[in-house]
Structure 1
Amino acid sequence: MAGRRRARTGRGWDASPPRAGDANTTPRPRRGRRDRSEETDPEATPAPPRDEAEVAREICLRQLAVRPRTRAQLAGALAKRGISEEVSAQVLDRYDEVGIIDDAAFARAWVTSRHAGRGLARRALANELRQRGVDGDVASEALGELDEETEAETARALVERKLRSARGEPDAVFRRLVGMLARKGYPPGVAIRAVKDALAAQSAEAAEFAEQVDADALADAEGELDRDTRPLD
């Protein structure tokens, strides 16, 4: 017995590595690892192709979840994803029927929001609606809700706000403010009168300059220049 190796010492089990020839030295297989053949099974059945209409509906709903879209915008998104025109028309027609797509409501909301938030006039708003594919008649109906009086009041408010931080001679300020309103789509007559009235109420020097401005004549001249430089459709 003295020559036999003891498996247990007085202080615990012998932790030394097993000797060659000892029993139970076969390594155990590692757990948690799958055979590679299970991961790449050549007999696996490929997933069936998805229905094109289902894909088109998912694309539209993702687009609409971000913000409202016009029919033309959704059609463009479907075309970019390779959806056929036939399937695109079917899906969009159905969305029209149930009211998910409503270009008239889109146009009204766009006009209200952009006029109140950015102070855009009807001309600029018409251009934005056209870029988004809104039909001309639908756009005109929405723009009709923005009357001339409201447009003139907004122009005056924009000018008064800009005047608080404007610096320079009255003529330079006048040109900058008229240009600002023109970029927002205001007609020359509306822009010039709004700036003239605001300057007249600002200071004696500005009022003296404003008194010399012939708003009607200047508006006619600006209108003719605008028509000459406007690109043809």
Structure 2
Amino acid sequence: MQPDEQPRSARRRPSADEARRGRSPRRGADVGSLAPAEQEAQAKDLCLRLLTDRARSRSELSKKLTDKGFDGEVIDRVLDRLAEVKLVDDAAFAAQWVHSRHTYSGKGKRALAMELRTKGVAPEVAAGALDQIDGDDERARATELVRRKLRTASLDFEVDGPGGRSSERDRLVRRLVSMLARRGYPQGMSFDVVKTELAQAGSAVDELLD
């Protein structure tokens, strides 16, 4: 026997609790072959790691567990228990998502509704979260985006092109409206906000186009 070897009987075996709370099954392992209790422990650990990264909807967690091969009944039990302690709460998730994405990413309600749908949030839950943004809030955020774009963006227009300054101003309007549309703002509101801001900007916009 080599000096650094130990008899098999002397090697420390992991406790049952350590085994239960151990790492997730190896890639390619068939978690469906595990006993239900062990499946539940592994599924719960995976959910807690995912939730540490960021808040997630129930549908997102369910899909992750399904992709890992966990049994459907096990998934439901684990998610039900996490919901009981409010670690899984689609209403809270949706409200947080809407606030964050509207405030920090400048997304409009239409874009936010689509994002919540891709996250598997029920329409009625999504609607409740979106209600925190009213028309005035949405217009104010769109206005901020246009003002910031006018201050900082390199709009790269060919000022000497056909049509002169009027053509360039129209092109600027279309570009700003398209920017808002990509973020999920209504077209009518977008046109109104852009024209209002360009009118207020006045000579500053003329200098931008010169």
**TM-score bucket of the superposed structures, by smaller chain:** 0.7 to 0.9
Alignment partner of 1:99 is 2:98: no
* Structure 1: distance between partners of 2:100 and 2:5: 59
**Map of 2:169 onto structure 1:** 170
Q: Deviation of residue 203 (structure 1)?
A: 2.1
Runs of 4+ more than 4 Å apart: 47-50, 204-207
Residue deviations 1:165-220 (CA, integer Å, cap 9, x gap): 3453211111100000000001111100010001111225969xxxxxxxxxxxxx
Superposed counterparts of 1:89-168, under 5 Å: 89-164=76-151, 165=153, 166-168=155-157
Contact 1:167 1:173 in 2 (8 A): no
TM-score after normalising by structure 2: 0.74
Residue aligned with 2:201, SS:
coil
Residue aligned with 2:174, SS:
helix
* Structure 2: distance between partners of 1:160 and 1:197: 11
Q: Deviation of residue 161 (structure 1)?
A: 1.0
* Structure 2: distance between partners of 1:52 and 1:205: 64
TM-score after normalising by structure 1: 0.67
Q: Sort the Cα spacing of 1:205 and 1:56 in 2 relative to 1 into closer, same or farther, 3 A.
A: closer
Alignment partner of 1:32 is 2:3: yes
Name the amino acid aligned to 1:124. A
Name the amino acid aligned to 1:90. R
Q: Gaps spanning 5+ residues in structure 2: where?
A: 14-18, 21-33, 158-167
Percent of matched pairs sharing the same residue: 42
* Structure 2: distance between partners of 1:170 and 1:123: 27
**Map of 2:184 onto structure 1:** 185
**Map of 2:160 onto structure 1:** none
**Number of residue-to-residue matches in the alignment:** 172
User: Which has more radius of gyration?
Assistant: 1
Return the structure number with greater helix share.
Answer: 2
Residue deviations 1:105-139 (CA, integer Å, cap 9, x gap): 01001111100101100000000111111110000
**Which structure carries more relative contact order (alpha carbon 8 Å, separation 6+)?**
2
* Structure 1: distance between partners of 2:171 and 2:149: 13
